Amino acid sequence: MAAADAPITICERASPLALHASVRPTYARIVGHRREGAVMRVAVLADIHGNLPALDAVLGDVDAAGVDAIVLNGDIATGPMPAETLDRLAELGDRVIWVRGNADRELVAAYSGGVNAKLPDAVRSTTEYGASRLQNRHRNLLAGLPLSVTVDVAGLGPVRFCHATTRSDTEIVLVDSPVSRYLDCFADTAEPTVVLGHTHMPFDRLADRRRFVNPGSVGMPYGRAGAHWALLGPTVSLRHVDYDAAHAAETFRSSAPDYPGLAQFIEQNVLTVPSDAEALSVFTDWAHRDDEDPRREE
C-alpha cells in the first residue's frame, strides 16, 4: 500500500501531454503530493470507465464552466473505448491531474502481462480487453499514478482527492457509512474536504466536521442516467449532464463490438442504470465483508 503522502511528481506524469501544452495554460504545478498555488475552479471526473460519449458530454459542460484544472479521480479507461478515452483526455494538456483507481492499476498490470488472477471472470475479461486496445503511450499515462493528491482550491482550502480512500484504491465508503468508518479510512490525512469516487453515486456529506464529496460516475452511474461530475471552487456543486443514449449505444456497437458483455454494458449503464437503492445494498454487503476480512493494496 502506498502511503497517502508518498512523494509523487505530476509534472513528470504529465510529460506525455507535452505535445498539447499549448492547448491549455499551466495554472500551477505539483510538488511532492500537493499542487502548488491555489486554483479557482476544479472539475472532478471520476469513474469514466472508457465511456467516450459520456466523457465528451461532460467535457462540453466543463468547458462552459471555465475550470482551471481537471482532476481525473480514478477508473479512467477500463470500458468499451479505453484508448479513445485516454487520447481525448491527453488532448486536455497540463491542466489535468491524474489519480489512480483500482481499474487503472489492474489495466497497467494486464498490459504488462501480469493480469490479476484473483479478479472475477467478468472483470478480468474487460481488463484484458482494455489492455489489448492500448499502446505504450496509453500505458504511460496510467503507470505510476498517485493514490491521492492535494490541491488548494479557492474558497475551500486544501482538498484531498482519491479514488476510494487515502490508504487504498478498493475500500468502500458510502453516503450512509458510519462516521467511524470515515474516521478509520481517512485517518492518515487531515484536509477539511476530501473528494472520492469508486462507488459511482454522487453525494456531499459531513463526517466529524470534514466534508466528503463523491462526484458520481461519468461513464457508469448509479441512481440517475446520464453523466455525473463535480465543480469545486468556491463552493461544491454536483453536476449532471444528459447525453444521447441511443447514439452512444450505436457508437459502442460500431467502435467496440468485441467488448465483453457489450449489450449488458449498454443496457445497464447507458440506456438505463441501477437505482441508488440497489447499488447501496450491494456495496454495503461488500463493505461488511471488507470489514470482516480487511485487505490493503500493496
Q: Which domains does the chain have, with CATH numbers?
A: 40-163+173-292 (3.60.21.10)
pLDDT score of 21 more than 60: no
Phi and psi torsions of 248, nearest 5°: -60, -40
Count Cα neighbours of 226 within 13 Å in the Cβ-side half-sphere.
Answer: 13
Q: Which residue has the higher pLDDT, 18 or 167?
A: 167
pLDDT at position 294 is 47
Give the pLDDT confidence of 193-225 residue by residue, as tens digits: 999 999 999 999 999 999 999 999 999 999 999
Q: How far apart are CA 107 and CA 124, in angstroms?
A: 9
Kindly report the average pLDDT of the chain as a whole number: 87
pLDDT at position 287 is 77
Give how far Cα 208 sits from Cα of 4, 12, 158, 182, Å: 20, 36, 17, 8
pLDDT at position 92 is 96
The DSSP symbol for 17 reads G
**Bridge partners for 96 per DSSP:** 70
Identity (one letter) of the amino acid at 106? E
**Helices 52-65 & 245-255, crossing angle to 10 degrees?**
130
Q: How far apart are CA 262 and CA 207, in angstroms?
A: 38
Identify the helix (H) or strand (E) that includes residue 10: helix 10-13
Q: How far apart are CA 115 and CA 270, in angstroms?
A: 27
Identify the helix (H) or strand (E) that includes residue 59: helix 52-65
SS3 98: strand
pLDDT score of 57 more than 80: yes
CB 53 within 8 A of CB 220: no
> Exposure string (b/e) for 123-140, b if CB count within 10 Å is 16 or more?
bbebbbbbbebbeeebbe
Query: Among 219, 271, 263, which residue's Cα sits nearest to residue 241?
Result: 219
Give the pLDDT confidence of 227-251 residue by residue, as tens digits: 999 999 999 999 999 999 999 999 9
Give the pLDDT confidence of 129-155 residue by residue, as tens digits: 999 999 999 999 999 999 999 999 999
SS3 236: strand
Tell whether pTM > 0.75. Answer: yes
Query: Among 234, 182, 237, which residue's Cα sits nearest to residue 212?
Result: 182
Q: How many residues in total does the chain contain?
A: 298
CB 8 within 8 A of CB 33: yes
The DSSP symbol for 106 reads H
pLDDT at position 35 is 52
Phi and psi torsions of 181, nearest 5°: -70, -40
Q: How confident is the model at residue 290 (pLDDT cuts 50, 70, 90)?
A: low
